[in-house]
Structure 1
Amino acid sequence: MASAVQRILVKVIFYISIAIWGCRGILMMLSTIIKFSKVLFVKKNRSQLPSCATDPSLGTHDSLTLNFRGETSACSVRSLKIKYVANGKSGLPLMLCIHGFPECWYSWRHQLKEFSSKYRVVAIDLPGYGDSDKPADKDFYSVTSLVDTIAQIIIELGYESATIVSHDWGGALAWNFAVNHADKCEQVIVMNAPNAVGFQKGFTFKQYCMSWYMFFFQLPWLPEFMMSCCDFQFMNDCFRGAWGVTDKSRLTDEDVEVYKYSLSSWEARNSAINYYRRNNMLSRDHFRGKKFKLECPVLLIWGTEDQALSLELAAKSANASDLITLEYVEGASHWVQQDNPEEVNRLMWEFLNSSSSYGRLDVEPSFGALSPDYGLSPEGPEPDLSPEIEL
């Protein structure tokens, strides 16, 4: 009886939140329309990748096709093309880079160059983004389905396991991948994305307000329209506005054009928003009933000026397991690997050298200084958060 009442209460809160924050999203959209009314329906032709994304030093553009068997696929998708960019010699250990919202493979441009001497670095367009296929079936975007897709990508690339590097939505998938496919993880690096334990323990009222967009995205078609109106002003605001990088020289207008290209079609925007619609607070398949138990080391990198995810989420996430190392990047925004790539790369090398099953990679990091802990670095697991936590 108590659990039934709790489920009803969660649903009521969920739908009331959609109504409240949906109104905020609509007001923000109207404000943008008024401010940029002259270009309301203007859309630049984005049929070709901007030249900065075709730089050969980033790697080779390619794609692979996954075929799903009926008994293992929970939705109607039977085949899926995944676009990727790869740098580094075939046969080197695989580093698989998974981006977040509203990005694409290009968010890993600095890491594609930096780590190609010791890794086969592969940065994918997640399903629904860029030149990857865009399944219309919303069930395909469940965490369970997406995590299984990542496992198949590794196999299709000719590997049994990989070092997973991730950010934002890619990070959410990486945490789940580490739990459900531990045999395919060498190491995991997550940037500005909490695990399920951290999100649950750190979801304060402040974070609830910061997460307003997650509720707005539950509305039909309006989020897709908002993203594209006034020639994708939403993307300008995300990357170079109040939510954007703190150092604007790190993410230029031309860089933003790559992300606009990635989500230029209605199908792409619908797919990107479906990640939120399919995996909301009413979903129960995030960990498939498993305990949160890590078997490989995880580095959690967190930009301290994130406007969407609080510092408390980082600390609570790190406390979920003794295998998690938390490092803050002072002054960096949510787009941490683009805002301060030198520091991020230094932290990555340090972690990879200390925890690699391949042995030391003989690369000495030479960037920057360690960031302060802001008083939130974990001082050991909290009493109520053991390494195994039933969700």
Structure 2
Amino acid sequence: MMHGYAHANGVRLHYVEQGSGPLVILLHGFPDFWYSWRDQIPALAAAGYRVVAPDLRGYNESERPQGIEAYKIDTLAADVAALVTAMGAERATVVGHDWGGLVAWHVAMHHPEVVSSLVIMNAPHPLAFRRELRQNWAQKRRSWYIGFFQLPWLPEAVLSAGNQWLLRRVLRRGGPAHNDTELAAYVAAFAGHGATTAAINYYRALFRHRPKRPVTIQCPTLLIWGMRDPFLLPVLAEGTEAWVPRLERHEEPRARHWVQHDAAASVNARVLSFLSPHAAT
């Protein structure tokens, strides 16, 4: 893998790149960085794709602008659209998990000219999430942390306390870190000055700055869902066809939130099967 930096939408983004061919952009979630895709990058590259996995703004080695407004979802989507251009491509397949999935939804809605196809993993369409938060008490309970993250300074203090004890627990128990080496990589990514605040500001900006109105997504889309997700109920995937007419859904019955790790081989095979007729040329 090669490491590089790109200037996109006014920020300097770090990324990892491997392979050649049609461009595939992989967008990580919270609390994550490009390393979230370590099981997918070599598999996609070996299949003939140019894979670029950035650290989203504020994460790991990417630039961390100050202030909540810098992390508006529309701004994050513009980062990705600019990154496609910075990579010298006209279009790309955009793949996103968790927060990266939410960003990917918005890229496809508001920058469709750069998206040839879309792959989403355990990230509900914005309107589906709004629907369930309004009527589903089980999902409201599971999303309690979103409200907690709206508080000033306290979330940072909790996540940083005891040598990042809570963060380590989330990453290790049902999270993306399966051994001490992987855990150390995630903890190091969050150790930088202002890294925790930047990640939490994604949640703060989401509820303080109204994004552009959702529009119908016309590109081919694959929605993969780990059915044992402790944070996001499977019902969030239901009804997505109303806003995404060219949708394919795939369920991983034993996978949890980080479906790309829990079912890596199956997810890779499903993504490659989907990409074959839909990747950018």
TM-score (norm 1): 0.68
Q: CA 1:100 to 1:357, structure 2 compared with 1: closer, same or farther past 3 Å?
A: closer
Alignment-mate amino acid for residue 35 of structure 2: Y
Contact 1:300 1:318 in 2 (8 A): no
TM-score (norm 2): 0.94
The DSSP-based 3-state class of the residue aligned with 1:96 is: strand
- Alpha-carbon distance in structure 2 between the residues aligned to 1:195 and 1:207: 14
Deviations 1:23-82 (Å, cap 9, x if unpaired)?
A: xxxxxxxxxxxxxxxxxxxxxxxxxxxxxxxxxxxx11111223x5xxxxxxxxxx4211
Alpha-carbon distance, 1:350 to partner: 1.6
- Alpha-carbon distance in structure 1 between the residues aligned to 2:184 and 2:155: 19
Would you say 1:192 and 2:122 are equivalent positions? yes
Aligned to 2:171: 239
Aligned to 1:131: 61
Contact 2:142 2:230 in 1 (8 A): yes
Query: What stretches of structure 2 of length at least 5 have no aligned partner?
Result: none
Alignment-mate amino acid for residue 173 of structure 1: V
Aligned to 1:88: 19
Would you say 1:343 and 2:266 are equivalent positions? yes
- Alpha-carbon distance in structure 1 between the residues aligned to 2:102 and 2:167: 21
Alignment-mate amino acid for residue 83 of structure 1: H
- Alpha-carbon distance in structure 2 between the residues aligned to 1:178 and 1:238: 30
- Alpha-carbon distance in structure 1 between the residues aligned to 2:153 and 2:280: 46
Alpha-carbon distance, 1:320 to partner: 3.0
The number of aligned residues is 278
The structure 2 residue matched to 1:260, chosen from 171, 182, 187, is 187
Alpha-carbon distance, 1:354 to partner: 4.0
Would you say 1:151 and 2:81 are equivalent positions? yes
Alignment-mate amino acid for residue 236 of structure 1: R
Contact 1:199 1:317 in 2 (8 A): no
The DSSP-based 3-state class of the residue aligned with 2:250 is: strand
- Alpha-carbon distance in structure 2 between the residues aligned to 1:272 and 1:147: 16
Query: What stretches of structure 1 of length at least 5 have no aligned partner?
Result: 1-58, 69-78, 359-391
- Alpha-carbon distance in structure 2 between the residues aligned to 1:240 and 1:148: 32
Aligned-pair identity in percent equals 35
Alpha-carbon distance, 1:352 to partner: 1.1
- Alpha-carbon distance in structure 2 between the residues aligned to 1:330 and 1:153: 34
Alignment-mate amino acid for residue 113 of structure 1: P
Alpha-carbon distance, 1:176 to partner: 0.7
Q: CA 1:125 to 1:197, structure 2 compared with 1: closer, same or farther past 3 Å?
A: same
Contact 1:299 1:325 in 2 (8 A): yes
Alpha-carbon RMSD: 1.6
Alpha-carbon distance, 1:319 to partner: 4.4
The structure 1 residue matched to 2:104, chosen from 150, 156, 174, is 174
- Alpha-carbon distance in structure 2 between the residues aligned to 1:135 and 1:235: 22
Aligned to 2:7: 65
Would you say 1:297 and 2:228 are equivalent positions? no
- Alpha-carbon distance in structure 2 between the residues aligned to 1:199 and 1:97: 22
The DSSP-based 3-state class of the residue aligned with 1:116 is: helix
Alignment-mate amino acid for residue 121 of structure 1: V
Tell me which protein shows more strand as a share of its residues: 2
Would you say 1:284 and 2:207 are equivalent positions? no
The structure 1 residue matched to 2:248, chosen from 325, 343, 348, is 325
Alignment-mate amino acid for residue 85 of structure 1: V
Contact 2:92 2:279 in 1 (8 A): no
The DSSP-based 3-state class of the residue aligned with 2:77 is: helix
- Alpha-carbon distance in structure 1 between the residues aligned to 2:154 and 2:210: 26
Q: CA 1:357 to 1:264, structure 2 compared with 1: closer, same or farther past 3 Å?
A: closer
- Alpha-carbon distance in structure 2 between the residues aligned to 1:153 and 1:114: 22
Q: CA 1:132 to 1:356, structure 2 compared with 1: closer, same or farther past 3 Å?
A: closer
- Alpha-carbon distance in structure 2 between the residues aligned to 1:95 and 1:176: 17
Q: Which one has more relative contact order, counting CA pairs under 8 Å at least 6 apart?
A: 2
Contact 2:94 2:104 in 1 (8 A): yes
Aligned to 1:106: 35
